[in-house]
Copies of this chain bind each other. A is one copy, B any other.
């Protein structure tokens, strides 16, 4: 007998109230009768129905979520922060598996049903982070899908042995090849990107590169990424995270880069950072670039900020981009739902018949109001099962 759930009286994306029939984890009807017999029922109370939120960029392995407050004292440079992180990791004894479960559970409560997590690989931590997050995702698999990026946080070439570890991480089960600031960290943009694209070719995997480099340096690295994506036929397989250089003042240069990203099917990820130049989201979307969003680090040695709430992230993306009209705020949410789904290559994502029933119910008169208000009262459905109610998990994580 099929497993059925009827969600009564919800408003899909703010539309008029309807009943949603879910069968075996798939949306079967979007205008079901009120009396589907035999099915489990959930009273939607007139709430909004949204597709599950997609966290397209976080760092599960090193969050301090639930570990008490860490006083932040690190200097301002990128290298200061990388060194500080390695020290904090040693001194606080962060357990990547335990911490991943804690933060992912928090994210599920807030409505996230899919995520991509970058996981550090370096010559000090080795593959312990990868193994920890893989163990966590096995424990979390009933409530969230986790994709893993093997991420050379401390540089890929500058610390000999890292490249081989990333290679091994991809064999172990990381799905995506990570990279980081080809000029600024490895000091060898050609070498770094050849290595990253080489690993992607060898393993047949997508790429996600952190690109914090600002202005013309970032534009140069981005050009190198665009050239390789084109030459190697990697269209649709490359994401550039942050891409601060797209916020530089030279709009002619930015327009050229955005057009090239669209042509090569390179996605970008933004956190909506308020202290950095940032990609202009509407301009990117209008040009056809896939844009996703993420929390980035949540309460870790890099940043004290973050709460894993992708509705709040949509608000921050909206604020960063000067979005005030409802249609623009809906766009900010789209980045945190459909944009993330496209970046992660999710199939059957959405609110239509045939889509996977990965859903969020939240109070709100309109979608824009839910983004602005960020209500704590959330009900989350994963593959047709209710995994969170009123902002709390319905059962323990194994």
| Complex Cα gap A71–B316 (Å) | 19
- Determine if A315 and B305 form an interchain contact, defined as CB atoms under 8 angstroms apart: yes
Contact of A365 among B69, B318, B369 (CB under 8 A): B69
- CB atoms of B304 and A368 under 8 A apart: yes
A275 contacts partner chain B, Cβ-Cβ < 8 Å: yes
Q: Are B372 and A274 in contact (CB under 8 A)?
A: no
Q: How large is the interface on A (under 10, 10 to 19, 20 to 34, 35 or more residues)?
A: 35 or more
Q: How far is the CB of A272 from chain B (nearest CB, A)?
A: 7
Q: Across the interface, which residues of B come within 8 angstroms of A273, CB to CB?
A: 274, 319
Contact bitstring A339-379, B, C-beta under 8 A = 1, else 0: 00000000000000000000000000110110011000000
12 pairs, CB–CB < 8 Å, chain A vs chain B: A71-B368, A72-B368, A73-B325, A273-B319, A299-B372, A304-B324, A304-B368, A305-B315, A305-B319, A305-B324, A305-B372, A316-B319
Residues on the B chain within 8 Å of A321, using CB = 275
In chain A between 261 and 296, which residues have their CB closer than 8 angstroms to a CB of chain B? Answer: 272-276
8 interchain residue pairs of minimum CB distance: A274-B274, A275-B322, A69-B365, A274-B320, A69-B369, A72-B325, A274-B319, A71-B326
A274-B272, A325-B74, A329-B304 known; A366+B320 contact, CB < 8 A: no
Q: Please tell me if the beta carbons of A326 and B372 are within 8 angstroms of each other in the complex.
A: no
Question: How far is B372's CA from A272's CA once the two chains are assembled, in angstroms?
Answer: 17
Of A275, A304, A320, A329, which is in contact with the most chain B CB atoms at under 10 Å from its CB?
A304
Give bound CA distance, A318 to B369, whole Å.
Answer: 25
Whether A320 contacts B369 by the Cβ 8 Å rule is no
Residues of B within 8 A of A372 (CB): 299, 304-305
Whether A303 sits at the interface, judged by CB under 8 Å, is yes
Q: How far is the CA of A304 from the CA of B371 in the complex (A)?
A: 10
Q: Which of A249, A275, A303 has the most CB of B within 10 A?
A: A275
Say whether A68 faces chain B, with CB atoms less than 8 Å apart: yes
Can you name the residue of chain B whose Cβ is closest to the Cβ of A319? B274
CA–CA, A352 to B67, complex, Å?
A: 32
Q: How far is the CA of A138 from the CA of B75 in the complex (A)?
A: 48
Residues of B within 8 A of A275 (CB): 319-322
Contact between A366 and B71, CB atoms less than 8 A apart: yes
In the assembled complex, the Cα of A305 lies from the Cα of B314 at a distance in Å of 12
Chain B residue at minimal CB-CB distance from A366: B69
Q: How far is the CA of A372 from the CA of B304 in the complex (A)?
A: 7
The smallest beta-carbon distance between A84 and chain B, in angstroms, is 10
How many Å lie between the Cα of A123 and that of B119 in the bound state? 60
20 other A-B residue contacts (CB within 8 Å) besides A71-B366, A299-B372 = A69-B368, A69-B369, A71-B368, A72-B329, A73-B325, A76-B322, A249-B249, A272-B274, A273-B274, A273-B319, A274-B274, A274-B316, A275-B321, A302-B324, A304-B324, A304-B329, A304-B368, A305-B315, A305-B318, A305-B324
CA distance A226 to B276 in the complex (A): 30
- CB neighbours of A274 from chain B (8 A): 272-274, 316, 319-320
Bound-state Cα–Cα, A369 to B64, Å: 13
CB distance from A2 to the nearest CB of B (A): 38
CA distance A276 to B318 in the complex (A): 13
* Docked complex Cα distance between A321 and B273 (Å): 11
- Known A274-B272, A274-B274, A315-B305; contact A324-B69, beta-carbon cutoff 8 A: no
Interface contact A72-B303, CB-CB below 8 Å? no
CA distance A275 to B277 in the complex (A): 10
Minimum CB–CB distance from A284 to chain B (whole Å) comes to: 15
**Docked CA distance A326–B72 (Å):** 5
Question: What's the nearest-Cβ distance from chain B to residue A365, in Å?
Answer: 4
User: Of all chain B residues, which has the CB nearest A370?
Assistant: B69
Please give, as numbers and ranges, the residues of chain B lying within 8 Å of A71 by CB-CB distance: 326, 366, 368
In the bound assembly, the distance between CA atoms of A382 and B181 in angstroms comes to 51
